[in-house]
Amino acid sequence: MSRIIIHNEKVRNVSGVVQVCPFGAIEVSGNTLSINAVCKMCRLCTKRYPEIFEFQESSMPQIDKSQWQGIAVTAELTGKNELHPVTLELLGKARELASKVNQKVLAFIAGSDVENAADELVRFGADEVVIYDDKALEHFRTEPYTAALEDFINLRHPSVVLVGGTVTGRQFAPRAAARFRTGLTADCTVLDIKENSDLEQIRPAFGGNIMAHINTPNHRPQFATVRYKIFPFPEKALSPSGVKTYRHLAPEKLSSAITVEGIAPLPEEQGIEEAQVIIAAGKGIKRQEDLQMIRDLAEALHGKVAGSRCLVEAGWLNHKQQIGLSGRTVAPKLIICCGISGSVQFAAGMKGSEKIIAINSDPNASIFKIAHIGIVGDIYEVIPALLKKIRKGRA
C-alpha cells in the first residue's frame, strides 16, 4: 500500500506544515509530525514541502490481461421471468465496448425456467449465454446467485462484468467482486474502454461536484453497476449466432440462510422511468400549493410529475418522483424542467432524454448547458402562458 513518509528532522515551522493539509490529516505531538487515517493521498503536502514529505508508492500486482477476455453482462429477470430492461441496455453497451477491443459479448443468467430469456439475450447480440437453470435459483437469494456468478467468472474469465444497478444487482455484485479481490464502481454514468482492455468508468463523486474517472488497471475482472435508463435500448441483432452453455452448481453452493416464504406481487403502476413526457419541478417552486400548475401542465401533455431532491426532502413530492443519482433515472421523449438549476446529480438522472426544455429565471443556470430549448423567464409567468397556448390549440 502506498504511504507518505515524513522526514521530521527537516521540519522548521511545525504550525505552517500542519496547515498545508485541507483534511486535517497531519498531526503534531511535541515536535513530531504524523499522518492519521483521514489522509486522502491527495499529495498536496508532498508538493508544498517535498523535502519533508515523501510519497512512497508500493509495487502494484501484475496481471496477464490476455487471460481475461470478453465483456460480460449479468441478466436480471422480472417476476414473470422476463429480462429486466436494464439487462438489454447493458447488452447494447457491452456490444459497443467489445467491438473496440475485438472481444466477445458474454451473458450470465441464473434462475429457473430461463430458456426464453436466454434466447432473448442471443437475439440482442450475446455471443455466448452461460445458463444456470435450477429450481433452487427460482427466487433471488444472495449466496447461490453469487456462487453462480463466481463459477461463471472462473469459467470464462471476462475482462469486464456489467451489472444492473438494481436492488438485486447491488446485493451480489459487491460480493462477487470481493471474492476476486477486484474493484467495483457503482452507478456509472459513462463507460468506455482502452485498447489494453482497461475499463474507463465515470461517475459523479463528492456530492456531484466532480466527475470521477475510475480505472482498475491491475485487477480483473472489472466490475461496474449501471442504473436503468442510463444507456439507450439496443436493436436486435440482424443475424444472431450466439451459443448457449449450460452449467450446474453443486448442491452445497445452492444452499442459503435465506428462506423465501412467499412472493407478494407489486401493484401494477407506471413510474416516471417509463413515462414518455415528464414535467419536473425544482426549488423555483415557492410553495407546495404551486405544484398544481406543474400537475396541470403534466395533465395537459399526458405526462408525469417529477422533481429534484429539494422538493422530495421538503415532503412536497414522494421519493418515487425524484430524478437524480439519489432518485430515479429517466429518458423520456420530452422533459420540461421548471425552476431547476441543473446540478450534476439531477443532470445524470435525465441527460438521456430526447428533448429537454428548461425554464429558469437565471440565464447562467447549469440546466441550460444540457437543454435543447432554454427559456429564460419566471416559471410563474411562462407555465400559465404555456398552458393557455396548449388548451387554446386543442380547442
Look at residues 311, 313, 294 and name the one whose alpha carbon lies nearest to residue 303: 294
C-alpha cell at 356: 429537454
Q: CB atoms < 10 A from the CB of 168, how many?
A: 17
- Record the pTM: 0.81
Query: What is the rounded distance in angstroms from the CA atom of residue 38 to the CA atom of residue 65?
Result: 34
Domain assignments of the chain as residue spans, ordered by start: 3-56, 65-254, 272-394
How is residue 60 written as a grid cell? 502494484
What is the tens place of the pLDDT at every residue in 346-380?
998 998 899 999 999 999 999 999 999 999 999 99
CATH code for residues 3-56: 3.30.70.20
* 356 phi, psi to nearest 5 deg: -115, 120
CB-based contact 370:357 (threshold 8 Å): no
Pull the grid cell for residue 76: 436480471
**Nearest in space to 221 (alpha carbons), one of 170, 161, 133, 178:** 161
Q: How far apart are CA 130 and CA 75, in angstroms?
A: 10
CA dist., res. 43 & res. 20, Å (int): 10
Q: 10 Å Cβ neighbour count for 219?
A: 16
Please tell me the distance from the alpha carbon of residue 83 to that of residue 320, in angstroms, as a whole number: 22
290 has pLDDT over 90 = yes
What's the CA gap between 246 and 35, in Å, rounded?
53
Cell numbers describing residue 139: 427466487
Cα separation, 287 vs 291, in Å, equals 7
Max CA-CA distance within the chain? 85
At residue 326, the pLDDT reads: 85
Contact 200, 213 (CB under 8 A): yes
Confidence tier at 129 by pLDDT (50, 70, 90): very high
CA-to-CA distance for 316 and 310, rounded, in angstroms?
9
What homologous superfamily is domain 272-394 in, according to CATH?
TPP-binding domain (3.40.50.1220)
From 171, 163, 146, select the one nearest 86 (Cα to Cα): 163
Q: What is the DSSP code (8-state) at residue 182?
A: -
Q: Do domains 3-56 and 272-394 have the same CATH topology?
A: no
Q: Return the closest-CA partner of residue 359 out of 348, 367, 351.
A: 367
Please, what is the average pLDDT of the chain?
93
The pLDDT-based confidence of 1 (bands split at 50, 70, 90) is: low
Range of weakest confidence among 8-17, 293-302, 310-319, 325-334: 8-17
* Alpha-carbon span 358 to 337, nearest angstrom: 5
121-137 mean pLDDT: 96
Fold classification of 65-254 (topology level): Rossmann fold (3.40.50)
Specify whether the backbone of 41 is left (phi greater than 0), alpha (psi in -120 to 50) or beta.
left
Half-sphere exposure of 102 (CA within 13 A, CB side): 3
pLDDT tens digits along 229-246: 999 999 998 888 999 999
Interval 149-157 mean pLDDT: 98
